[in-house]
Structure 1
Amino acid sequence: MTMRSTRSTVTFAHPFTLPGYAGDLPAGDYEVLAEEELLQGLSFEAYRRTSTFLMVRGFGARAGRSEMRPTTENDLQEALSRDAATTSRTQTEH
């Protein structure tokens, strides 16, 4: 089976949480690694996402370390939507 990995960057303007992990992650830029597999038997090339990871840089006592935290595309999009809503509310209040 043919696999591919894609990398992208997401930006959080505010501290945020992801399901399955305790505590807030700080605002900032985060690299996202998505792994996909080629779907066989189609008349066109198509891929299905098999996993999504958020690269989290260590801070405090863990500075200099990075973790690949498994998440889902939906959980990541929900966290980004919450962040955008918080930004929108903050701008409206001023």
Structure 2
Amino acid sequence: MTNRTTQTVVHFSFPFLLPGFDAPQPAGEYRVDHDEEAIEGISRLAWRRVGAFIHLPAIAMPGSRQQMVPINPTDLEIALEKDHKQS
């Protein structure tokens, strides 16, 4: 089975909290990795998301400790939508 990882950058204008986080994260830009696998047995190439990870801290935040935290993509979309409505 073929796998791939795509990266995106998301922007939060306000502090946010995702399920499973111990504390709110500050506003900023965050790199998100989406792990996907190819769906076999169809006539054209398609991908299925099998995991998503957010990189902490934010891109512009100095810090020696970097971590990738697994997240639910739906929770991320809800948090981004809430953030944009606050603007």
**Fold in common (TM above 0.5):** yes
Give the Cα separation in 1 of the matches to 2:21 and 2:65.
Answer: 17
1:1-94 equivalences under 5 Å are 1-57=1-57, 63-87=63-87
- For structure 1, the residue ranges without an aligned partner over 5 or more in a row are 88-94
The answer to whether the 8 Å contact 1:57/1:64 transfers is no
The answer to whether the 8 Å contact 1:18/1:79 transfers is yes
- The offset of 1:33, in angstroms, is 0.3
Q: Which stretches of structure 1, 4 residues or longer, exceed 3 Å deviation after superposition? A: none
Which deviations, in whole Å up to 9, do the C-alpha atoms of 1:5-32 show, x marking residues without a partner? 0001000000000001121100000000
Sequence identity, in percent?
Answer: 38
Higher relative contact order, structure no. (Cα contacts within 8 Å, ≥ 6 residues apart): 2
Q: TM-score, normalised by structure 2?
A: 0.91
Higher Rg of the two aligned structures: 1
Aligned Cα RMSD in Å? 1.4
- For structure 2, the residue ranges without an aligned partner over 5 or more in a row are none
Q: Secondary structure at the match of 1:75?
A: helix
